[in-house]
Structure 1
Amino acid sequence: MSLSYRMVVVSDVHLGTPAARAEYLLDFLEHVSAETLVLNGDLFDIWKMRSHRWSWPACKTRLLQRLMDMAAGGTRIVYIPGNHDEFFRDYLGLSIGGVEVVREWQCRLADGRRALVLHGDEFDGVVRHSRLLKGLGNVGYELLMGLDRVNAWWRRRSGRGYWSLARAVKQQVPGARSYIGKFEAAACHHARERGADVVICGHIHHPNLFRRDGLTYANSGDWVEACTALVERHDGQLELLRWAEESARLLDATGEEVAGSTIRRRAVP
């Protein structure tokens, strides 16, 4: 199976952490071709890697090799560093191994719409203004992701499909829902000020795609909880792909394939 797209956007992979679902992203990239691949922030988790509590199984190396193979094969790869890999913001404007490093990316979709792609930590008041709140949030998130890894192990052992406990819990927290709404509103406001028709973000690990008041908001999600990507078809239509959710792919402890994958799509004009 090979899926062809004009543009693919992925964000928040967090390589270097045990929570990174690198095997799912590797599987996804092995099944798609794209004219442009945008890595929209937090590809790496430098915060975790600096703490000396990081994880790097072989599939993560294979994932990086797949990215290099795509670049060598003619795919344009644009890398927008996020807040967890802001180290690479020191290299803005450079090309590293065929990967362009930029602060944000503006482009035209196939249907002529002007799109603005940026990670989104610019809109996160907690990250920008309160180190204390950020630290407390990180502690709770680490605990939740630890429980999610136990849940994923149990589901694999019992032959069940992929399902994220962390994502389900976050969706039930009123404060999280309020924050997501404010984030989306801030992103849309920024896009209108910049004269864009479409704004594409990551950062908050909440995949979404909607059109409101003439502007399209898209969040490509993450590869920690949701395993989602935003894609542009060759006619300019945007789709949100949930690669692992309700799929038939199960991974054994070594990350080897044992079944074929399925895809669920959500699209807006």
Structure 2
Amino acid sequence: MKTHFKTIVVSDVHLGTRGSKAKEIARFLKQYRCENLILNGDIIDGWQLKKSGTWKRKHTRFFNRILKMIENHQTKVYYLRGNHDDFLDQILPLQIGNLSIQTDMIYESQGKKYFITHGDIFDSITTNLRWIAYLGDVGYTFLLWLNRIVNHYRFKRGLPYFSLSQYVKSKVKSAVSYIDEYEKELAKMARAKGCDGIICGHIHKAENREIDKVHYLNSGDWVETMSALAEDHEGNWQLIYYNEIDFKEIRDHQIISFFEGGSEEGIIPLRQVSFENKKDDLNPPAFRS
């Protein structure tokens, strides 16, 4: 059971929207440690916040978790700009300690180079016809709303989760063709930049496969799929799905590792108890939204 990775990539969290699985991704990040955390675009949904979105405490907790990773484990965090958080254009590039905010990046590991980008720059719809992109965003938001209603009734009947938007995408030929073309164009871009692979997000479709000898990786999203990419210290990449995580097994592993003296591989599951608290520790600073 691996709980310590070299690099973890997440994208499309869409904080500020009702569909964002902020609690789930914060819990996910609490289970794992990594040297590098790459937030690959659309982490904050500026489009929805301008219209009808709301910022909640659980959305702030996500960034609290990021700050703890930086402070406690010296994790290097890279926040790459997406189309929904294009407000970052006003401050790019920016680096504060272990936090770097930038447009894209080239990541090198185990002798291989990966071009990492959110992916919207290769989407002619969002680049050239912005009003159509907004219209598509409205349609997707409606599908997510309808999806909550459908799954509410499915849950009452003991049925598993069903992704309505993924179903629609798989049935609409133009959507299937668009995704296929999107993946091929990204693979071409990686090759043009002299990279062995490409890591992206944007289309909310997790993937880990070869396209014309280019390693294509898509981290999925935290609206429906709830998936992330993780690289171990040997350079192997895998997709991790939140719904497939056995949190009890991870906790048991961490407890065993702690008592065997290997707590560096996981999060210490026990609170440290002190009978001589310093005055400064009685009222620890709080980070509030």
Q: Tell me the TM-score normalised to structure 2 length.
A: 0.80
Kindly indicate which of the two structures has a greater share of residues assigned to helix: 2
Report if the CA contact (8 A) 2:75-2:98 is conserved: no
Q: Which residue of structure 2 lines up, in the alignment, with residue 253 of structure 1?
A: none
User: 1:198: how far off?
Assistant: 1.0
User: 1:234: how far off?
Assistant: 1.0
Instruction: Write out per-residue CA displacement over residues 184-225 of structure 1, whole angstroms, 9 at most, x where no aligned residue.
Output: 111011111100001000111111111133210111111012
Question: What is the 5 A alignment of 1:80-229?
Answer: 80-96=80-96, 98-109=98-109, 111-229=110-228
Q: Which residue of structure 2 lines up, in the alignment, with residue 25 of structure 1?
A: 25
1: CA distance between counterparts of 2:56 and 2:15? 10
User: 1:148: how far off?
Assistant: 1.4
Q: Which residue of structure 2 lines up, in the alignment, with residue 15 of structure 1?
A: 15
2: CA distance between counterparts of 1:34 and 1:179? 33
Report if the CA contact (8 A) 2:187-2:211 is conserved: no
Q: Which residue of structure 2 lines up, in the alignment, with residue 79 of structure 1?
A: 79
2: CA distance between counterparts of 1:141 and 1:215? 30
Q: Compared with structure 1, are the counterparts of its residues 107 and 132 closer, same or farther at alpha carbon in structure 2 (3 Å cutoff)? A: closer
Q: Which residue of structure 1 lines up, in the alignment, with residue 61 of structure 2?
A: 62
Query: Which range is displaced more, 219-228 or 57-66?
Result: 57-66
Q: Which residue of structure 2 lines up, in the alignment, with residue 42 of structure 1?
A: 42
Structure 1 gaps of 5+ residues are: 249-258, 263-269
1: CA distance between counterparts of 2:92 and 2:181? 28
User: 1:43: how far off?
Assistant: 0.4
SS where residue 65 of structure 2 aligns? helix
2: CA distance between counterparts of 1:155 and 1:30? 29
User: 1:242: how far off?
Assistant: 1.4
Instruction: Write out per-residue CA displacement over residues 21-52 of structure 1, whole angstroms, 9 at most, x where no aligned residue.
Output: 1121111101110000000000000011111x
Instruction: Write out per-residue CA displacement over residues 86-119 of structure 1, whole angstroms, 9 at most, x where no aligned residue.
Output: 111222231247420011111212x211111111
User: 1:261: how far off?
Assistant: 8.2
SS where residue 27 of structure 1 aligns? helix
Structure 2 gaps of 5+ residues are: 251-289
2:67 partner amino acid: M
2: CA distance between counterparts of 1:48 and 1:211? 34
Report if the CA contact (8 A) 1:2-1:31 is conserved: no
1:165 partner amino acid: L
Query: Which range is displaced more, 55-64 or 9-18?
Result: 55-64
Query: Which range is displaced more, 207-216 or 176-185?
Result: 207-216
* RMSD value, Cα: 2.1
1:87 partner amino acid: F
Aligned residues: 249
2:195 partner amino acid: A
Report if the CA contact (8 A) 2:16-2:44 is conserved: yes
2:226 partner amino acid: C
User: What is the identity percentage for the equivalent residue pairs of Structure 1 and Structure 2?
Assistant: 37
Q: Compared with structure 1, are the counterparts of its residues 112 and 47 closer, same or farther at alpha carbon in structure 2 (3 Å cutoff)? A: same
